Structure 1
Amino acid sequence: MKVDLSMTDVEVLETSPAMTIGSVERDCGLPKETLRVWERRYGFPNPLRDRNDERLYPAEQVATLRLLRRLVIAGHRPGQVVGLPDEELLVLLAASEASVAQTRDPEVELVLNLLRAHDAVGLRDGLSAMLLGAGLGTFASVTGPKLVAAIGHAWSRGELEIHQEHFFTEQFTTVLRSAINATQVAGLPRADPRVLFGTFPQEPHALGLIMAEAMFALEGCLVISLGVQTPIREIAAAARAHKAHILALSFSSIIPAAQATSGLVELRALLPEQVEIWAGGACAGLRPMPGFQVLNGLSDINPAVSDWRARKHRSGKI
């Protein structure tokens, strides 16, 4: 059904540029579903509507959404910041950035400089050298999160563009994927569990997922990745096809906990009881429930795998 614009909307659209929801998603790095959830739950953003009832976001709302993403990356929960005036958001952001303006880390400085120089070969070589020096486990669980946090903060300060953040993601993923594949074909003994990795359709971020995959690979698990943004029913179908023992799912800080939980409940209903669901990531407020467990960090993977194997050994299934 077509909906005519009100005079107020017409006047705003004539005097100020407006962006579609897809453009806002690309500009701000906030998934469309997150924008809709915030609109419904917190009353912001408050988009205009075009003649086809499609959302249009005025420039001032887009600017506020950029601030909100920076604060969410810094660790603030959406319920604490969405809806606050820009002046308060800027105060919170200044405090958050001051708390991370600590001593300079040479690895962080190297990566940031290479990103600023748009040096693809240098960045790939630098990351490869870090991996060789630290080993896969430390690179995935310590170096990776450190670099991801630093790049997020640099973006939030306006020192990097989103395309540079994406550039880092691709280079880091390439280096880490090569190392994971090497562990799978190096003749090392593989043992259950078989672990399938993925994210829900609303989750475009892959770094947390691949860092977790590296840690599972080091535990001798057979790891199988679906990548990001897979429909829930397709995740369930893949789990059956690959005879997965565990589904490992990652949720970033921009995904509302209620949305993640509802998806996990839906997925649980589609799976055989023996397939376990393990969720993790930076999604604030995600809590374990009957049918799935939550890992609070990469360091939880080793004991969780050991516990899984002990349970299966006691039951005679391993």
Structure 2
Amino acid sequence: MTSSSSETPIWYAIADVERDTGLSKDTLRVWERRYGFPMPARDALGERQYDGQQLIRLRHIRRLIDAGHRPGRVVALSLEELVALNTQTQGEQIQPKTERAEAASMSAGGSLSAVVMERWMQMLRSQDAHGLRQALAQAVMERGLARMVIECVAPMNVLVGQSWLEGRLAVYEEHLYTEIVQSVMRQALGQMAQAHAPKPPRILLTTLPGEVHGLGLLMAECFMVLEGCHTIPLGVQTPLPDIVTATATSGADIVALGFTASQNPREVRAALEQLRERLPPQVEIWAGGQCPVLYKPQRGRLPGAPPVFWPMGRLEDIQAGVARWRALGRAEVPA
């Protein structure tokens, strides 16, 4: 969303920045006084106005803070320093899982080439929704749903997310991509549901309040349906009491939650512990996504006690999780 010198600059109100980054207005004002950044201009009414470069810096700052960095260390850094630190942080936290996913993809036939990914990105930038939808549908036919999700959707998610973070992709373009991918995967799921009757476990899928991203959850549902599971998708941002009620009403055996790196790690752990206390002990909690706190040791549990939640670091972990659950003999699984 950057612009050249010949174009009219795009300005964002403080409310726009708050919605985009998740940083509160009070936080932005405090940083302005304490660290000298951001440095908003003022409109004719004296209201703060932020340019595109400041918005991009704030996105990087938010991601670093979510990864555990202190504001005093990162707020005053230049964009180049933030990008370098963000790249280092992502390498430390995500690269091991990425390498395993890439190895699995290569053994199954290989991820998308850079040429194909760039072609799909051009479709997205030109608003060619039909072309991108057709390309994704063709990938499902050629690779199957599981390989399409791992080899096509997963790397495209990374590219689209990074392009948005760096200001090379507008918010509406990211939303268009998400809608197209979701429509293709839901169509594939609908076809599978007609072909096979679901079996246990019954898995309820949702996110907690504050987590508005549901694409990763839908990707996980694809793998659950491929394992023959009965899925109950609630969408995003379901309050804890409603999750508990829905679990009881639906008879769910597992509650699967999705998290992105933008969520506060302490709040994520606290919410998972609260949910564990409210759910029956036989109902498992599965938690997946890019929030680093999910993959840290769960301390404070009694010896032999089950975990608060089962971390799902990769989509491929779902198959093992379903097999483990079924091996416990909690439900009769038809042959």
Q: What's the TM-score once normalised by structure 2's chain length?
A: 0.73
Aligned to 1:69: 59
SS, match of residue 192 in structure 1:
strand
| AA aligned opposite 2:81 | V
Q: Does structure 1 residue 91 correspond to structure 2 residue 81?
A: yes
Instruction: State which of 162, 173, 181 in structure 2 corresponds to 1:164.
Output: 173
Mapped partners of 2:12, 2:54: distance in 1: 15
Aligned to 1:238: 246
Aligned to 2:209: 201
Aligned to 1:136: 145
Mapped partners of 1:106, 1:146: distance in 2: 13
| AA aligned opposite 2:56 | R
Structure 2 residue runs without a partner (length 5+)? 1-10, 39-46, 96-111, 299-306
Q: Does structure 1 residue 222 correspond to structure 2 residue 230?
A: yes
- How far is the alpha carbon of 1:67 from its aligned partner? 2.4
Mapped partners of 1:217, 1:298: distance in 2: 12
**Residues 17 and 305 of structure 1: CA distance in aligned 2, closer, same or farther (over 3 Å):** closer
Whether the 8 Å contact between 1:278 and 1:292 is mirrored in structure 2 is yes
Q: Does structure 1 residue 291 correspond to structure 2 residue 308?
A: yes
SS, match of residue 277 in structure 1:
strand
Aligned to 2:324: 307
Mapped partners of 1:303, 1:45: distance in 2: 48
SS, match of residue 201 in structure 1:
coil
Whether the 8 Å contact between 2:67 and 2:261 is mirrored in structure 1 is no
**Residues 219 and 152 of structure 1: CA distance in aligned 2, closer, same or farther (over 3 Å):** same
- How far is the alpha carbon of 1:236 from its aligned partner? 1.3
Instruction: State which of 262, 265, 281 in structure 1 corresponds to 2:270.
Output: 262
Mapped partners of 2:52, 2:242: distance in 1: 33
Deviation digits for residues 73-99 of structure 1, max 9, x if unmatched?
6x8853226441454442241576799
Structure 1 residue runs without a partner (length 5+)? 1-15, 49-56
**Residues 130 and 59 of structure 1: CA distance in aligned 2, closer, same or farther (over 3 Å):** same
Deviation digits for residues 286-318 of structure 1, max 9, x if unmatched?
24643212111111111111111101x2x6765
**Residues 195 and 316 of structure 1: CA distance in aligned 2, closer, same or farther (over 3 Å):** closer
**Residues 270 and 45 of structure 1: CA distance in aligned 2, closer, same or farther (over 3 Å):** farther
| AA aligned opposite 2:14 | M
| AA aligned opposite 2:326 | R
| AA aligned opposite 1:164 | E
| AA aligned opposite 1:197 | L
Q: Considering only aligned residues, what root-mean-square deviation do their CA atoms show, in Å? A: 3.4
Aligned to 1:105: 114
- What is the identity percentage for the equivalent residue pairs of Structure 1 and Structure 2? 33
Mapped partners of 2:12, 2:151: distance in 1: 42
Whether the 8 Å contact between 1:69 and 1:254 is mirrored in structure 2 is no
**Residues 307 and 90 of structure 1: CA distance in aligned 2, closer, same or farther (over 3 Å):** same
Q: Does structure 1 residue 24 correspond to structure 2 residue 33?
A: no
Length, aligned pairs only: 281
Aligned to 1:182: 191
Mapped partners of 2:113, 2:86: distance in 1: 17
**Residues 299 and 17 of structure 1: CA distance in aligned 2, closer, same or farther (over 3 Å):** closer
SS, match of residue 298 in structure 1:
coil
Farther off after superposition, 291-300 or 88-97: 88-97
Whether the 8 Å contact between 2:61 and 2:75 is mirrored in structure 1 is no
Whether the 8 Å contact between 2:204 and 2:252 is mirrored in structure 1 is yes
